[in-house]
Chain A
Amino acid sequence: MWKEIESRESGKIRPHRFANRLKSRRVASLQLSNTKDIVSPHRGSVNSLQIDLTEGRYLLSGASDASTAVFDVLQPQDYEGGGLIAKHKSILVVDKQHEQGHKYAVSTAIWYPIDTGLFITGSYDHFIKVWDTNSTQVVMNFKMPGKVYTTAMSPLATSHMLIAAGTEDVQVRLCDIASGAFAHTLSGHRDGVMTAQWSASSEWVLVTGGCDGAIRFWDIRRAGCFRVLDQSHSQLGRRPPILCHATTKASTSKSSLGGQSTSAKTGTTLGKFPNGNGTKKSSLGRILGKTSSKQRLHPGMMSSRDRATAHYGAVTGLKVTEDGMYLLSAGSDSRLRLWDVESGWNTLVNFETVRLQTNKAIQLAVSQESDLVFVPCMTAVKAFDFWSGKTSMTFRGHFENVNCCWFSSHDQELYTGGNDRQILVWSPFVSHEMEEGTAQDRDSWSD
């Protein structure tokens, strides 16, 4: 440690690298915290966890007993065990007793990305409520057509305040906090939408994963989605090769002859598809050529015909990396896939997952500095290496299935919540030998 500080001082390693090394070392020693404990007031399984994006201080959790709680993770309320264990109790709890509270399970709870004055909860009682944190009152109420599975707000948004809501209905709805109404709906999925994430590189791009196994990219300024991820379109490596003479292009040269005449009719939006999706382009053109006599389709809605799937089951978890270049998706076929966002192809990294829970959505967490992804796998949380897919660490502590996890990159701590109603903290291992030594040292005395 001192050697590294010395080389940082002399300029041998750069500051960013020095910080990364320290952080990676701390992350590699993550274990169940012996100094921090969160006292969970929930009487139902914890479904969603989030630490606010501005200060990294307040933890928001939503549970199946319709309760939502806020904890301060930096300042404990109480100390136990002779001052060694910090107890963090909830500073705010909203449950069924609250007259404006939810009636059924809260499936998602997120902070307003700009500050911690507002938070948004979505529940199985078909409502999305926007709460004022200080007065604990509901400011806005949105009624959805079905059970709300997921809500998301863009952390980059400067010109809109839209909440993307995924429900058991096939349409993704955008709710506007500024006006209190629905902005618009995005159609294209063929079953309920279980997960939604905003892109980390553009405030207009939303990624949603549905129970039909499809992952769709939407630009909210246009109609229809501009990309559907297909698990059979793959690239061998982190980035696609520069000159991709994909055999898909060569082999579809015969079949695309039929599609050429019809694609001219359907307009220019087909041309915007990247090269690797050459098969999709021609097959779409052919399908539309058949049905164009029956139904004129808006060029933006052509993607609703595209039935490519990203997983062989429902998509249960999505996570965009902080630099916005890669997307991780977890499915009920118990596979985790890594997608390159720019080309839309599967990078074929094989994560050694054996079983993932299939009935609920799971929340993934990514640590970009140490290239790790934290995935709740049944009763344990496993950390996989990003590029090789090998299991790096396993965190066993929960008594039942784990639903959600959140990694705080400020102090390299992992928070996990599960069906056993507990929120566990995993922090880097720090030994306490120093303090015991000084207290017990009675032999060194002299007359």
Chain B
Amino acid sequence: MAPGRGRKRKLEDDEEGEAATAAAAASSSSDPAESLEQSLTFSDTLVALQIMRAQFPRIDKVSIKPFILRSQLYSSVMDRTQVDRELESLRRAKTLRIFKLSTGQDDHAVMFLDDYINQIDSVVKKKEEKKLPNLEAFDWFKMHVIDTRLEPNISHEELCSLLSLGGKVKDQHVSLLINGGVLIRQLIDPDMYWFAIPSIGSVLKGLSQGRKELLGLLSRKKYKEMMMATLEKKRLRLSPLDMRFHLRDLIGSGHLKTISTPTGLVVRVSKD
């Protein structure tokens, strides 16, 4: 009897643990009063990813699933090498996908695989409403290409050979995938494509404008710094993403640095 009860209690504990993290995630996303200062660093990359996914701001005009920037992870977990290695093992385990963004030198976006599939499905649905032909290309893409090719880029031959596992491939299929936004041609190499998140264009524009606005805001101050508590409450005009998103991103990429003072964290523009 006793071992049975012990196991049952352990199961309950596990459930409680899961419920606690889910509750924490839900509360942090819905509770604006919880400051960024308290939740700046996490112990583990996967925990950081899940909580930042829950904290992703709701954008009204565009329906987009949550994605996390790589620089945000660098500001959230202490050891950057550990972040890189854990991302690599999660990518190989097909839990998430990494995309190279066109906004900066080394910008990468991380998205969970289920979110990505849902995003593609919503694009397909919109195209079905317009009654476009050749939509089976997206199904072939989901079934064969995403499963096999884990890197952020793919060559033309490999793309065609993987798509042809689903059916006969024509040029119109590839053009439809590019139109849908899941593939982008590389500028340097005409034969290679980048994988991309569909309908993300306006968000990326907001991202780069928001970064510039935030850096400009701090650079105009006399000592180029500001308390994090007051900075968090401001709203950016040009970006649909919230201040917390931009702060994590810029701290992680090294443009801003945080200094701990007796009254709290201070955010300062770092000079190189």
Interface set of A (CB-CB < 8 Å, partner B): 232, 234, 236-237, 247-248, 251-252, 254-255, 258, 283, 286-287, 290, 307, 312-313, 333-335, 348-350, 352, 354-355, 377-380, 387-389
Contacts and interface: CB of A to CB of B under 8 A. Distances in A.
* Contact-residue size bin, chain B (C-beta under 8 Å from the other chain): 20 to 34
Interface string B242-255: 00000000000111
A334 B80 contact: no
Contact of A378 (B148, B161, B272): B272
A236 B88 contact: yes
Contacts of A286: 157-158, 161
A333 B105 contact: yes
Contacts of A335: 106
Nearest to B98: A232
B157 A290 contact: yes
Contact of B88 (A287, A313, A348, A379): A348
A234 B85 CA distance: 9
B81 A232 contact: no
B161 A313 contact: no
Contact of B150 (A247, A312, A349): A247
Nearest to B144: A254
A348 B150 contact: no
Given A255-B162, A283-B155, A349 B81 contact: yes
Contacts, number: 70
Of all A-B residue pairs in the complex, the 6 with the closest CB atoms, nearest first, are A354-B254, A350-B80, A348-B84, A236-B85, A232-B151, A350-B81
Contact of A389 (B81, B105, B149, B189): B81
What's the dominant secondary structure at chain A's contact region? loop
Given A349-B81, A350-B83, A378-B272, 16 more contacts: A247-B150, A251-B149, A254-B148, A255-B158, A258-B161, A283-B155, A283-B157, A287-B157, A307-B189, A313-B105, A334-B106, A348-B85, A350-B74, A350-B81, A350-B84, A355-B254
Contacts of B157: 283, 286-287, 290
Contacts of B30: none
10 contacts: A232-B151, A236-B85, A251-B150, A312-B105, A313-B105, A334-B105, A354-B272, A355-B254, A387-B81, A389-B81
A349 B254 CA distance: 17
A388 B92 contact: no
B95 interface: no
A391 B147 CA distance: 38
B158 A283 contact: yes
A286 B85 CA distance: 31
A380 to B, nearest CB: 8
Contact of A251 (B79, B148, B192): B148
A255 B161 contact: yes
A252 B150 CA distance: 11
Interface string B126-169: 00000000000000000000011111100101100110010000
Nearest to A334: B105
Nearest to A355: B272
A236 B150 CA distance: 16
Contacts of B50: none
Contact of B81 (A248, A333, A348, A354): A348
Given A247-B150, A378-B272, A352 B165 contact: no
A283 B80 CA distance: 32
Given A234-B88, A247-B150, A389 B155 contact: no
Contacts of B162: 255
Contacts of B152: 232
B249 to A, nearest CB: 14
A254 B148 CA distance: 9
Given A283-B155, A379-B272, A352 B80 contact: yes
B89 interface: yes
B270 interface: yes
Nearest to A312: B106
A252 B272 CA distance: 44
Interface in B215-272: 253-255, 270, 272
A389 B74 CA distance: 13
A334 B107 CA distance: 12
Nearest to B155: A283
A252 B157 CA distance: 14
Contacts of A355: 254, 272
A387 B255 CA distance: 24
A354 B270 contact: yes
Contact of B106 (A307, A333, A348, A352): A333
Contacts of B147: 251
Contacts of A350: 74, 80-81, 83-84
Contacts of B158: 255, 283, 286
A335 B70 CA distance: 14
